[in-house]
């Protein structure tokens, strides 16, 4: 007997859409913060304004290379947070394929700019809170390089199903620093204060989340890819998981906006 899948197959894309709406709001608010609070003052040479935020090193008078790295880093981050989510919209990919290709090239190039400038600041400029978080973000950077390269190559080889999967992985990896903030703030909100957190990011929860902020989304994405071809029951389970991710993303966005970004506008 043929089992009609529409109810279930509708649930999975709807859960993905719910997560997308929360993520787009969160990424664009982060982009607004980066542009207004970091990139614009840095471009105007107003180091004092930037140093009033929670940056580790920030602007240092006379350190031309360091300041340029920071500016390049945050400028790339702003564009990545603006562009990235749009690449995920299937309708936009279909109606504006040339835009998708151009934005994709910009995204992939700027990801590598963010990684290179970030690694320079972490290991050569000394902008790190602790060694474990520095290793975690460096591993994130290495995975970004891998995912971006594979997404690019699969597109050129016209292997679009694989390109889509690698591009989604690249997006989630590039968004690791954003997920880190959302997760930390949601955690603090849910616990009514820090629990397993330290200012050096080496408390038990910090140690889990500095790696989890990009590894957990990769695992969820893998379950989503498998669910697309799985049984209705598995699809429903992954839809529930994605729904939970949507709620947590919305909560994390609200908390990060209220506690981390809004006070600096």
Closest approach of ligand HEM to the CB of residue 210, in Å: 12
Q: Which of 41, 118, 183, 252 binds ligand HEM (CB under 6 A)?
A: 118
Closest approach of ligand HEM to the CB of residue 122, in Å: 4
Residues 155-194: x/- map of binding to ligand HEM (CB under 6 A)?
-------------------x--x-----------------
Alpha carbon distance 241, 212 (integer Å): 16
By CB under 6 A, residue 138 contacts ligand HEM: yes
Closest approach of ligand HEM to the CB of residue 9, in Å: 32
By CB under 6 A, residue 218 contacts ligand HEM: no
Residues 31-60: x/- map of binding to ligand HEM (CB under 6 A)?
---x---x--------------x-xxxx--
Closest approach of ligand HEM to the CB of residue 220, in Å: 19
By CB under 6 A, residue 144 contacts ligand HEM: yes
Question: Which residue, 13 or 130, has its beta carbon nearer to ligand HEM?
Answer: 130
Q: Which residues bind ligand HEM (CB under 6 A)?
A: 34, 38, 53, 55-58, 70, 73-74, 77, 80-81, 114-115, 118-119, 121-122, 127, 137-138, 140-141, 144, 174, 177
């Amino acid at each position: 007997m043929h089992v009609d899948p529409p109810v279930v197959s509708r649930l999975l894309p709807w859960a993905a859409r719910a997560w997308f709406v929360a993520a787009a709001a969160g990424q664009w608010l982060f982009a607004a913060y980066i542009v207004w609070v970091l990139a614009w003052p840095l471009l105007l040479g107003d180091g004092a304004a930037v140093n009033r935020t929670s940056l580790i090193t920030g602007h240092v008078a006379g350190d031309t290379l360091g300041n340029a790295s920071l500016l390049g880093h945050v400028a790339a981050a702003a564009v990545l947070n603006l562009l990235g989510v749009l690449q995920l919209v299937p309708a936009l990919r279909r109606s504006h394929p040339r835009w998708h290709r151009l934005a994709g090239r910009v995204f992939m190039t700027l990801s590598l700019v963010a990684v290179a400038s970030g690694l320079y600041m972490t290991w050569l400029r000394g902008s790190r809170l602790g060694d474990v978080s520095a290793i975690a973000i460096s591993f994130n950077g290495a995975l970004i390089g891998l995912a971006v390269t594979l997404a690019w190559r699969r597109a050129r080889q016209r292997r679009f199903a694989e390109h889509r999967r690698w591009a989604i992985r690249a997006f989630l990896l590039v968004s690791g620093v954003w997920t880190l903030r959302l997760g930390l703030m949601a955690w603090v909100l849910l616990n009514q204060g820090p629990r397993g957190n330290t200012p050096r990011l080496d408390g038990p929860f910090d140690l889990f989340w500095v790696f989890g902020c990009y590894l957990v989304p990769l695992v969820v994405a893998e379950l989503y890819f498998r669910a697309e071809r799985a049984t209705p029951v598995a699809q429903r389970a992954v839809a529930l998981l994605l729904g939970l991710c949507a709620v947590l993303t919305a909560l994390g966005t609200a908390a990060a906006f209220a506690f981390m970004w809004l006070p600096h506008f």
